[in-house]
Structures are given as structure tokens and as C-alpha cells.
Amino acid sequence: MDLRLDGVSVDINGKLLVDSLSLDVPRGQIVGLVGPNGSGKSTALRCIYRSLRPSRGAVWIDGQNMRSLSLRANAQSLAALTQEATSDLDFTVAEIVALGRAPHLRGNERLSQREERLCLEAMEQMDVLHLAGRGMLSLSGGERQRVMIARALVQEPKVLVLDEPTNHLDMRHQIELLSLLRRSGLTVLVVLHDLNLAAASCDWIGVLSDGALHCAGTPREILTAPMIREVFGIDVSIVDHPLSGQPQLFYTLPTQQSQEHTQ
């Protein structure tokens, strides 16, 4: 399935948070959204997983306006990991992951043997199988994050929408998650703060600034020193990664001389 944001705007209490955002996420590709804090990334994602209704524009999935789909049909096609994804109830890890099957079940229908295997496989993929009997409230932030990603995978979505999925994860689990996304064949829209992780894992990157799409393209096309200076206000040196050939960014704080030059 492909995903498309078509002129999406979000205006809340007279403040324009997202401004005419159009972005295509082709079938089977990983598209990253990057930008400074407050640039509209999470707000745009909320329009996709339907916790927020756009003031204008629409979100399309496989040529259908998502607002024309029932919430159940929507959840059978698309899974989301939000920044707020957590559980205040002390369910076990296994119970939380099994909730990912809810869109495919009716009432109190029990999981089939296939679904139980699916839950075990997702927990193993996210390295939380050994935590299956633990309560969520006893876990670290990184462990909880991996549980919530496992729950999203158990939905068997065609489209994954992830808001800062590497948040709280150590380096090993960051790399394992992004490698898993690359192998999955799913259509993925992901918000990332680490531009080097975005360069390594994304086919296409959209840069948001003040709610609008500043630029979009392949990592090599758009991750340039002038763009990063303009949007993020920092200086970088960029080299090619010796193995992947993708751009790698080395950050430096603006010098006093460069600050005076910009004033």
C-alpha cells in the first residue's frame, strides 16, 4: 500500500501547525520526516493515524481517503507508534503485544495458534520475549518502546507510521529496529531526530520547517550543509560513509564569527 498526504493543513485556535503538506510514501519504501522541534512532524502524523482531523486536505491510503474507512479497516491496514504510546495499566508484556490483534478479532474472540505464534515472533524480533511475563510498569523506557513496536508489528499492517521509534533505545536496538524496517517490505513513514540514522535507513526524506515542507529528496540530495544551517541553525561537515556511501554528518556549534555574520 502507498500513503499520500495531500495538502494537509492543521489550524488549532488560529495557529497554523501544518501548512499545505503534500508528501508521497511509495509502497514498500521508508520515508523519513525530519525537522526542528515544533516543525509539525508529530501533528502531521496524528492526521494519518486519525487522532487529529486536518483542517484542510486529506490523507490517502492505496487511493482511498482514510476518512472513508472504518476505524477497524483503518487499523487492519495501518499501525502507528506514537510518542505517547505506553500503558498506565500493569498488563504483562505478552498481553500488551496481543492487543495488536484487536483490529482482526471480534469481541472476546481468543487468539488462534497462528496469532499466538505471531505474537511470539514479534516479541523475539524486538528482543522482549524474555520479558513476556513482566508487567509493563516494571520495564525501562527502552524496553517499553520495544514492546509497543512489537504490538504494532503484530497488527500485520501494510503501512507503519512511527513517531521517534528510536527514542529511549540503545544503539544496538536502534540499528536492529531500522534494519528490521528495511527488511520488512512495509511502507513506512517515520519521524527521526538523528539525521545520520535517517540517512542510513530512509529511501526519501522530507524536511519540515514551521509546519511546511522545506524540501524533500533522497538523503544525498537534501542533507546538505546549507540546508541544515538554514533549517536547524547548526554547522555540519558532511562525508560519505565508507561502507554505505550515504552522507554522514559531523556537527559543530556555530562560531562567534559565524554568529556575528548572521546578525
Query: How many whole angstroms separate alpha carbon 236 and alpha carbon 222?
Result: 13
pLDDT tens column, 100-127:
999 999 878 899 999 999 999 999 999 9
pTM of this structure: 0.91
pLDDT at 262 over 90: no
CA angle centred on 50, ends 198 and 99, rounded to 5°: 85
Cβ(96)–Cβ(40) under 8 Å?
no
Cβ(244)–Cβ(258) under 8 Å?
no
Q: Using DSSP bridges, classify how beta strands 159-163 and 78-81 pair: parallel, antiparallel or unpaired.
A: parallel
Query: How many whole angstroms separate alpha carbon 185 and alpha carbon 145?
Result: 21
Query: How many whole angstroms separate alpha carbon 163 and alpha carbon 79?
Result: 11
pLDDT at 44 over 60: yes
Query: How large a percentage of the chain has pLDDT more than 70?
Result: 94
Query: What pLDDT shows up at residue 245?
Result: 84
pLDDT tens column, 58-93:
999 999 999 999 999 999 999 999 987 666 778 999
Cβ(175)–Cβ(200) under 8 Å?
no
pLDDT tens column, 145-159:
999 999 999 999 999
127: alpha, beta or left? (left if phi > 0; alpha if psi -120 to 50) = left
Task: Name all domains of the chain by residue range, CATH numbers in brackets.
Answer: 3-218 (3.40.50.300)
Query: What pLDDT shows up at residue 161?
Result: 97
